[in-house]
């Protein structure tokens, strides 16, 4: 057993564990001691997870970056419509980038017999901001809840609602500073805290726990409104997250609501981003159809014959080679 631990320690496995997220030591130690996956199942999972998430990173995220980066590097040169599209694209870029490499780490772990926890669970299908944070970067959100929010709220429970507000603001302040020592991240954390505050004050933060449209093919009008509103509020917060400084964030917040907001940017019509947009729609559709279970895209061909699965993986690798960005783009979260 000691030799096996030494092999794992010297391997590159822990590099990917750091990339994945925050895992409690008890859970990780149990995985070391108890074999969870068979050899054949682990390599099947590696192919299904890695091929899909490499596609998300190399094709969707990196191609979106080619449009987002020039806009955010010089936001003053673009009107409101372009700024809005760039921010919407960044919302999907950061999701495909972060969830992509997080799930690649899960795939690498499965080869070694470990089943790491889910880190993203269709966050843009959330029907409230509290629901969003139960779905986005789940390992970090859980850690902040267990070691910051709940201890502070319990320690200040004699202060009533003020103790809860203090715990909430402190939690999101730490969440912002965890990403970097920049006021833009503090603003991002503060915005998310303000979004969730009314839900906590109204005791609504534990609502919407069920799957959206559980017994239906499509959501209700109320659910559509909740999903769209939650997504738009999240997009507005991403502006400060993506900006280089507070001044740039304020400029974008001002310019994005210009009268040109509803115009169709020529930059979109003259690029190949419409293909990436169609791929995003396809991925959203697959995830929606499989919303009653986790890993809808990864498990799309689970029950198919082996030859069909391998043909699917091969075709996906072909698409990666065809549409992947030729410009190298580092993982966004490697900077944090």
Residues with a known catalytic role: 179
CB 15 within 8 A of CB 104: no
What is the enclosing helix (H) or strand (E) of 250?
A: helix 246-255
> What does the CA dihedral 163, 164, 165, 166 come to, rounded to 10 degrees?
50
How open is the CA angle 63-141-163, to the nearest 5 degrees?
135
Angle between helices 62-73 and 273-289 (to 10 degrees): 120
What is the enclosing helix (H) or strand (E) of 172?
A: helix 161-179
- DSSP for 55-74 reads HIIIIIIHHHHHHHHHHHHS
| Lookup: tokens for 284 | 């959203």
Spatial CA neighbour of 297 closest among 308, 311, 313 = 313
Backbone angles phi, psi at 196, to 5 degrees: -85, -25
Spatial CA neighbour of 43 closest among 315, 321, 309 = 309
Q: In angstroms, what CA-CA distances link 321 with 68, 99, 275, 310, 326?
A: 22, 20, 15, 17, 10
Backbone angles phi, psi at 129, to 5 degrees: -70, -35
Backbone angles phi, psi at 315, to 5 degrees: -65, -40
């Amino acid at each position: 057993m000691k030799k096996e631990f030494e092999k794992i320690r010297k391997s590159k496995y822990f590099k990917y564990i750091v990339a994945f997220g925050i895992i409690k030591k008890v859970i990780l130690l149990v995985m070391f001691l108890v074999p969870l996956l068979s050899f054949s199942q682990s390599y099947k999972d590696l192919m299904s997870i890695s091929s899909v998430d490499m596609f998300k990173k190399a094709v969707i995220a990196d191609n979106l970056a080619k449009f987002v980066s020039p806009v955010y590097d010089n936001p003053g040169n673009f009107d409101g419509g372009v700024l809005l599209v760039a921010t919407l694209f960044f919302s999907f870029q950061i999701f495909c980038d972060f969830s992509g490499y997080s799930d690649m780490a899960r795939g690498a772990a499965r080869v070694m017999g470990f089943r790491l926890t889910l880190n993203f669970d269709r966050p843009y299908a959330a029907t409230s901001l509290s629901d969003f944070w139960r779905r986005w970067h789940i390992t970090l959100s859980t850690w902040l809840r267990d070691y910051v929010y709940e201890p502070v709220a319990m320690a200040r429970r004699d202060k009533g609602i003020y103790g809860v507000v203090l715990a909430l603001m402190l939690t999101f302040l730490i969440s912002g500073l965890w990403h970097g020592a920049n006021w833009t991240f503090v603003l991002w954390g503060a915005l998310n805290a303000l979004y969730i505050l009314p839900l906590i004050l109204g005791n609504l933060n534990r609502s919407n726990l069920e799957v959206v449209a559980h017994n239906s093919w499509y959501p209700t009008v109320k659910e559509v409104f909740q999903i769209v509103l939650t997504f738009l509020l999240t997009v507005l917060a991403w502006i400060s997250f993506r900006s280089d400084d507070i001044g740039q964030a304020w400029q974008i917040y001002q310019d994005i609501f210009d009268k040109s907001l509803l115009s169709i940017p020529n930059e979109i019509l003259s690029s190949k981003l419409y293909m990436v947009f169609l791929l995003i729609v396809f991925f959203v559709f697959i995830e929606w159809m499989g919303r009653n279970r986790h890993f809808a895209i990864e498990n799309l061909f689970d029950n198919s014959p082996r030859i069909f699965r391998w043909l699917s993986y091969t075709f996906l690798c072909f698409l990666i080679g065809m549409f992947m960005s030729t410009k190298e783009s580092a993982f966004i979260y490697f900077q944090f």
